[in-house]
């Protein structure tokens, strides 16, 4: 993987990550006449729970479902310049023009997985997935040293049912200026388990799932993918490394190669589940940048709102109002369905 840094017309940084080790010329200038977006992030806290809420009103003006020939994530053309000036690219990361976090309060970046518009992450080659992983690890390491960033969360939203407004295969990286509530709860639970038993809850869960096998979807040399025993979503898979690491930057080359294959297997099974592209969220749970790193265990979580070929799960009163989940599908059936699929490629 080779990285080249450039600057967009409004001063934002763009980073090209190429599949091979040899540098490629990345000298195309951004032809647009852009001024920096007036981005202001207001972080408020719920007075009843203390949980943070991010107010980013400038995002109301972000690009919304453009035509394919005006996609801002496709390679730039003279008649349709977008966010990426180069005519071809492998993987690109750039600062979001309409960020959720701005003004020194965190970071928000966009990750483009390929310059091909009409494809998906599941259709990428293992080599390209490895480049994506290397890029995410690189960004995790750099953002972890950035003032005001407390946790780095790389994720992909896929499908209009999830709320995606740009169909080009891409993800995002949030550098939260606080430790998000779910991470804080997982760390609290892990600390308690480490104190009382001397073991990590995710490590215990991983060992139990590997031994039982009922909820295992697929395995690699260094990673296992399984449905959690208390799955909230009608499709939900955890992809967990056999060795405890805090974040992506700590993975070895072999571990990165292995998870590239395992994650592709899982996503291809997801698309084969209903013989149609599955809407999903895929997010990397990583350690905070400061403190509690020993209580964290890196893992990738994939989940979907689709509960049947023609039905979606909507978050109603119990889930949205009380954060108490009701799942219509058993975790064992979810795993069985995914194992029984015939993934393409």
- Rounded to the nearest 10 degrees, what angle do helices 201-212 and 181-197 cross at? 80
Structure tokens at 263: 């994650």
Half-sphere exposure of 296 (CA within 13 A, CB side): 24
Confirm if 183 and 176 have CB atoms less than 8 A apart: no
Active site positions, annotated? 170
Strands across the sheet with 216-219, in order? 2-7, 13-18, 91-95, 107-112, 170-176, 151-158, 280-285, 299-304, 235-241, 223-226, 216-219
DSSP 8-state secondary structure symbol assigned to residue 27? -
Confirm if 234 and 329 have CB atoms less than 8 A apart: yes
């Amino acid at each position: 993987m080779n990285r080249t840094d450039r600057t967009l017309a409004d001063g934002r940084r763009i980073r090209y990550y190429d599949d091979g080790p040899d540098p490629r010329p990345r000298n195309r200038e951004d032809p647009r006449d852009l001024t920096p977006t007036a981005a202001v992030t207001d972080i408020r806290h719920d007075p009843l729970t203390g949980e943070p809420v991010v107010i980013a009103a400038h995002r109301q003006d972000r690009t919304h479902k453009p035509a394919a020939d005006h996609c801002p994530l496709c390679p730039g053309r003279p008649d349709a310049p977008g966010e990426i000036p180069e005519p071809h690219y492998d993987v690109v990361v750039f600062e979001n023009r309409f960020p959720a976090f701005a003004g020194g309060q965190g970071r928000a970046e966009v990750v483009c997985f390929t310059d091909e518009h009409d494809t998906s992450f599941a259709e990428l080659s293992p080599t390209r997935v490895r480049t994506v992983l290397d890029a995410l690890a690189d960004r995790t390491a750099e953002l972890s040293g950035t003032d005001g960033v407390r946790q780095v969360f790389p994720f992909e939203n896929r499908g209009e049912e999830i709320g995606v407004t740009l169909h080009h295969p891409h993800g995002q990286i949030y550098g939260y200026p606080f430790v998000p509530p779910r991470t804080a709860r997982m760390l609290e639970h892990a600390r308690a388990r480490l104190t009382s038993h001397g073991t990590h809850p995710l490590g215990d869960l991983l060992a139990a799932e590997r031994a039982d096998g009922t909820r295992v979807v697929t395995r690699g040399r260094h990673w296992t993918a399984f449905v959690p025993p208390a799955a909230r979503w009608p499709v939900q898979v955890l992809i967990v490394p056999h060795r405890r690491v805090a974040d992506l930057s700590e993975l070895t080359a072999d571990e990165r190669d292995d998870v590239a294959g395992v994650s592709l297997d899982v996503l291809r099974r997801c698309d084969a589940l209903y013989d149609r592209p599955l809407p999903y969220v895929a997010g990397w749970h990583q350690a905070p940048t400061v403190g509690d790193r020993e209580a964290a265990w890196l893992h990738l979580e994939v989940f979907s709102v689709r509960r049947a070929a023609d039905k979606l799960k909507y978050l109603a009163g119990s889930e949205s109002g009380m954060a108490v989940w009701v799942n219509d599908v058993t975790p064992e059936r979810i795993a069985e369905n995914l194992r029984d699929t015939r993934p393409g490629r």
